[in-house]
Amino acid sequence: MQLLQSFLQQHQSGYKVPAAHADSVIQKMLSVQYAKNQEVIVQFLNLLNTLHQIGDSGAALSNNRLSSFSESEGIRIGHIFNYLMQHYERPISLDEVAAEAHMTPQAFCRYFKKHTRQTFVEFLNELRINEACKKLTSGKFENIATVVYTCGFNSVTNFNRVFKAIKGEAPKAYLNHYFKNFKV
């Protein structure tokens, strides 16, 4: 476990899995996702072991170390994240979330960027797109437009533009790619 702990600390900013190992890592991740009960832990440790064996052949995703902050700052940013997770499906203004953090909008923007390295809008869009991906891949929605409006976007056009900017492909292409390559 000490080797895995050291590996996780060394790569806490993440790293890109080399293409030669991508299929193996994908299968391990899917094994974790579909495991039941205590098998989740076994599969997760198996995934970590595979990543550790790949080792340093992966390129670092960021050269910046994560900034550490005090417990009170952690509680405040956690409160902001929770608020956004609970309300992402509706329009959220900067003034509203700044008030929730007990800050002025300008101070909130500086604080949020310092702690997340993203602007508030970038973070909220990414959150909404990730939630949309979960909903789209679950197959429980009739069409993409239904997902658009349940994830806080007010137009399909804006959703498509933001989705492509974040995921690198259109929603339909993403779904086709997902269902073609990632079914267990």
Q: Considering the entire predicted model, what is its pTM?
A: 0.63
Residue 45 tokens read as 């440790």
71 torsion bin: left (phi>0), alpha (psi -120 to 50), beta (else): alpha
Mean pLDDT of 46-74: 67
Tell me the C-alpha distance between 145 and 172, whole Å: 11
Q: For the chain, how big is the Rg over CA atoms in Å?
A: 19
Contact of 143 with 150, CB cutoff 8 Å = no
Residue 31 tokens read as 């094994």
Supply the mean pLDDT for the chain. 85
Flag the least confident range among 12-16, 113-117, 134-138, 145-149: 12-16
Tell me the C-alpha distance between 127 and 145, whole Å: 17
Write down the residue that tokens 């072991």 correspond to.
Answer: 49
For 162-173, the pLDDT digits (tens) are 999 999 999 888
Contact of 90 with 76, CB cutoff 8 Å = no
pLDDT-derived band at 157 (thresholds 50, 70, 90) equals very high
Contact of 13 with 64, CB cutoff 8 Å = yes
Contact of 35 with 42, CB cutoff 8 Å = yes
pLDDT attached to residue 164: 93
**Strand pairing class (15-16; 59-60):** antiparallel
101 pLDDT more than 70: yes
pLDDT attached to residue 53: 81
pLDDT-derived band at 112 (thresholds 50, 70, 90) equals very high
132 pLDDT more than 80: yes
